[in-house]
Structure 1
């Protein structure tokens, strides 16, 4: 990506997207990548956006912390991490090799699925077998590396496996830290983090991300969890439609 391409991006729009994504993460504890990546992909190449958001999300995970090692369900983590790493390798390979149009179309469909899930507040707590760890981890790792938004498959699986909220939160945190670390290593090997422009963008965006996290953690927005979920769904629905339009014209 050339310097001219970066200069042509509406800086205010990119900043607003980051502030929104990490403000919501400051409130809910998740969702920054799912919001930031599809919206930023309307402005910048996906192969640039995903590594930058990976670095920001990994930093946010370290800043927020909050997992108690004693409450982590290591039995679940032990099943998910190896399969997730395999998915990360697959996703990184696809990110490096695939052309832009099919990747944008696939991202649009992925985001649409979770937009509908958020809009209608589709949830479930029925227990499922550990066999579902295979598709959940492979999908989470692959999609995480490819689009920087691999959390939802893990979230869906673990919420059907762990019903104690404290243990669930601790397990999420440990898993996302491990997943992020695996993606960083994979991206370094693939050369996706070797660009100076990626690190410059990360450093420029870092104060925005930290400020938005702080505000999200402190500001009471007057919305219930269900209302916030539906608001995120509306945002995702709009970004999905825009991505499909962009994919068709790429």
Structure 2
């Protein structure tokens, strides 16, 4: 696909398509260099099933921060086996122990700059490396408009850095996700039964509470909505965190 593509026109043409049809479109538009990402979060089975039924051998990138709950690792193992995923696990070259020795427990500093450094080391750098090593041209992601302010601005297709991002379930709500899980007898993350609506690292996730205005209030102590993976480099606040951080 030409990088001069008219994103507005493409997005308009995809508006009436189902999520599965959007995946079919992506597979046809990008016969090479198409990947997807997963966090093995609460509802990750939806996107994994939706995409792999169309592109069974698609590289599935999982950024393992080294701080995920034990339940996430077991959930990932079970789901990977069940769906026969072509899983590509990426991690920071800096071990958790080394990071803590040099930078301290960044998640305890209650400071957005510290959170950004943590996210760059543990998530953004490994993702950038994955995109490069896998020669990714396009990236399927399960972002939904109702999740964050940034995601409200997205279309079905967007450009992030050198890659195109495709969001098949962009307009889905929680009910749509639940219906898909039930219809295909798919599991959800075990933390859902503990009141979590989203789950990331064990130290920066908590259950949803009555006073929360958004599900993202349960992450990063509500100080930031995005971890940087789904933001342009200039917006991820990682520009100042060069390779000397690793």
TM-score by length of 2: 0.27
Which protein has the bigger helix share?
A: 1
Which protein has the bigger strand share?
A: 2
Using CA pairs below 8 Å that are at least 6 residues apart, which structure has the higher relative contact order?
1
TM-score by length of 1: 0.26
